[in-house]
Amino acid sequence: MGTGEQLVTVGAVLIGALTTHATNYLMERGRNRYQLLTRWDDKKIDTYSEYVDAAKMRIAMAVRLYEAREGLRDEHRPEPELREDLSDASRRWGSAFERVMLLGGDDAIEAGHELNTVLAEIDWQATGRITGTLEEWRERHRAAFRCINAFHEAARVDLGIQGSVTGEKHPERDLLLPSARHNRQTQRDQRASGEG
């Protein structure tokens, strides 16, 4: 084998080695990028679900306080304790929304801001800072759950999840109200307005 042939062979080996190194480098880089994206998606899923859970807990605590204040529920705990429960739920919600602000996509953050506005109105009516009828109270809850669905939609898009939680296959649902309580409240509302 001549010198020229040996140089060609050495050159081919070097090109093969460089190609293998470059391929391995690009594959490792791609795998690391995928792992990083997956890790952030996992954190986003936790963040989004924690925020929705905290928002629902805040609503539940507001409901307990509102119903106790309005005489719609026989509550055995004093109002200051119910207010403290609502305050605790609000702190948890605030921390959860901070994580959404750090990790969330633009549309999810905006949907969260919309929900936060409605949650504030629910809190204000529950604590008596604003007044309103029972129907206004219920409409605030309907608005909150529409906002939660909008947040779900934005979070799903941000995470690249197929499907939808609203639309033709998922028509809007109303509040679930026990019929006996609903009928009693309707009768009270009618008596209060002079209809019955």
Q: Which two tokens stand for residue 7?
A: 């140089």
pLDDT of residue 186: 58
Statement: residue 182 has pLDDT above 60: no
Q: Is the pLDDT of residue 145 over 90?
A: yes
Question: What one-character-per-residue DSSP string does 76-96 give?
Answer: -S-HHHHHHHHHHHHHHHHHH
For residue 194, what pLDDT is reported?
56
Whole-angstrom distance, CA of residue 22 vs CA of residue 20 = 6
% of the chain beyond a pLDDT of 70: 78
Rounded CA separation 163/169 (Å): 10
Inform me whether the pLDDT recorded for 118 exceeds 80.
Answer: yes
pTM: 0.70
Residues 6+ apart with CB under 8 A from 102: 47
Alpha-carbon distance 81 to 135, whole Å? 26
- Domain segments of the chain as ranges: 42-165
- β-bridge partners, 167: 170
pLDDT of residue 73: 82
Please give the Cα distance from 138 to 174 (Å, whole number): 10
